Amino acid sequence: MRFKLLRRRLTISAPRMKVRSAMPWPLQWAAAAIVLGFCGAISLWAFELGKDLAGVDGGSGEEVAQLRDEVASLRRERDRIQSILNTSGSAITVERAAQERLATQIRHLEAENRTLREDLGFFEKLMPASGTESVAIRGLQAEVLSGTQLKWQVLVLQPVKNAPEFRGRLEVSFSGTLDGKPWMMQLPGGPQALQFRQYRRVEGMVDLPAQAVVKNVSARVVEGSTSRAVQSLSL
């Protein structure tokens, strides 16, 4: 009999068994809630302990806000000072440029002043003491640059103050020898028109015939049909 009971229990035909917990499920949920609460309390305690150990208290937020305000104020002050510096730098650059322009103008005026003084001294030497001449020729120059070219220059002036405008013409002639014979030549373009008040410089270049030897250059200022001034130069 015992053997049959044991075989029934160990074979497939054995009756089914159910394992049930000794604790009801409401008590299990309550126990789980207690454990979770306990764990949360421990975590909160650990967090507060960490804050105390790190020196972080409740006033840190206010200090951070105050520090942010100070940083913003310092940045605004920095921007204001930088703007002032930029404006000052621009003003200094403009002032330096103005000083350079003024120095250039001063040097230019000084050069013009020297030129005017030189011209004034030159004219004072050229003006005759009597001041009776209405038109005069000064500084007639001529130079043979090569065997067939000659450069000439002449200064015509009115040696009086507040002189009226002069209208006339300038005649320049060249004389010498050509192939051993007397030779003379006028300006190829004919007389040059003259129109000035105080003075005028006139110059030019002429081509000479081959074998020509220039010995004399003559300049004459003519007004209408009247000769006003004549000057000759021997080479």
H/E stretch holding 149 reads strand 149-157
The pLDDT, as a whole number, for residue 53 is: 61
- Cα separation, 170 vs 204, whole angstroms: 12
Integer Cα distance of 201 and 151 in angstroms? 14
**Residue from 78, 198, 94, 207 nearest 149 by CA:** 207
User: Where along the chain do its domains lie?
Assistant: 73-126, 136-234
- pLDDT for residue 60: 62
pLDDT tens-digit series, residues 138-167: 878 888 887 788 899 888 888 777 778 889
From residue 140, alpha-carbon distances to 65, 201, 218, 231, 233 in Å are: 94, 10, 8, 7, 7
What predicted TM-score, i.e. pTM, was given to this entire model?
0.45
Query: Look-up: residue for tokens 């000759």?
Result: 232
- Do the Cβ atoms of 120 and 213 come closer than 8 Å? no
Sign of the Cα pseudo-torsion (220, 221, 227, 229, in order): negative
Q: What is the pLDDT of residues 101-111, one digit of tens each?
A: 888 888 888 88
Residue 93 carries which side chain, given as an amino acid letter? T
Cα–Cα distance measured from residue 162 to residue 131, given in angstroms and rounded to the nearest whole number: 13
DSSP-derived 3-state class of residue 52: helix
More confident position, 62 or 112: 112
Residue 109, classed as helix, strand or coil, is: helix
Q: What does the pLDDT read at residue 59?
A: 56
Mean pLDDT of 176-196: 88
Higher pLDDT, 221 or 80: 221
- Alpha carbon distance 123, 115 (integer Å): 12
CA–CA dist 29, 42 (Å, integer) = 20
- Residue 170 confidence (pLDDT): 92
Query: Hey, what amino acid is at 131?
Result: G
Domain 136-234 annotated CATH 3.40.50.800? no
